[in-house]
A and B are shown apart, each in its own frame.
Chain A
Amino acid sequence: MEIAYVVKPRPDTGLWNAKVAIWLFLASEVMLFGGLFSGYVFERIGAQPGMWPHGLMDVRWGTLNTIILIASSITAVFAWGAVKMRRFNEYRLWLGITVLLGLTFLCIKIFIEYNAKFNHFGVFIKQDKISKYEANLGNDYAAKKGLPPRYEISGDLEEVKIDRTDADASILDPLVRSIDADAEPQDSQGIQTIKIKSWHDYGALQNALLITPGAVTNPEEKDPGKWVRKPDGASLVSYTIKMDTINSDPANPKYDRPQLAGRVNSGEEKTVKASDVDFASYFTPNHSTFLGSYYLITILHALHIVGGLIVFTYFLLPVSVRFYQRDPEHFANRVEVSCIYWHFVDLVWMFAFPVFYLL
Chain B
Amino acid sequence: MSTDPEQGAPHDAGEVGKYVKSQIKVGLTLMVFILVAVTAAFFPVGSPGGRMAAVCIAGLINVFLVTAVSMHLKTERKTITQFLVFTVIFVLVLFGLTMLAHFDSTAGRH
Contact = CB atoms under 8 A, between A and B. Distances in A.
Interface of A: 13-15, 19-20, 23-24, 27, 30-31, 34-35, 38-39, 41-42, 45-46, 59, 63, 66-67, 70-71, 73-74, 77-78, 81, 84-89, 256-257, 259-260, 321, 324-325, 327-329, 340, 343-344, 346-347, 350-351, 353-354, 358-359
A100 B80 CA distance: 31
Interface of B: 1, 3-10, 13, 16-17, 19-20, 23-24, 27, 30-31, 34-35, 37-38, 41-42, 44, 52, 55-56, 58-59, 62-63, 66-67, 70-71, 76-77, 79-80, 83-84, 86-88, 90-91, 94-95, 97-98, 101-102
Question: Secondary structure of the A side of the interface?
Answer: helix
A45 B86 CA distance: 26
Question: Secondary structure of the B side of the interface?
Answer: helix
B66 A328 contact: no
B70 A343 contact: yes
A63 B42 CA distance: 13
Given A31-B91, A81-B20, A350 B63 contact: yes
A342 B5 CA distance: 26
B10 A85 contact: yes
Nearest to B67: A347
B52 to A, nearest CB: 6
Contacts of A70: 27, 30-31, 34
Contacts of A327: 8
A324 B3 CA distance: 8
A207 to B, nearest CB: 29
Across chains A and B, which 9 residue pairs bring their CB atoms closest together, nearest first? A34-B91, A74-B27, A88-B3, A358-B41, A81-B20, A77-B23, A27-B87, A343-B70, A86-B5
17 contacts: A15-B79, A23-B84, A27-B87, A30-B88, A31-B91, A70-B34, A73-B70, A74-B24, A86-B6, A89-B1, A256-B44, A259-B41, A327-B8, A328-B8, A350-B30, A354-B58, A359-B41
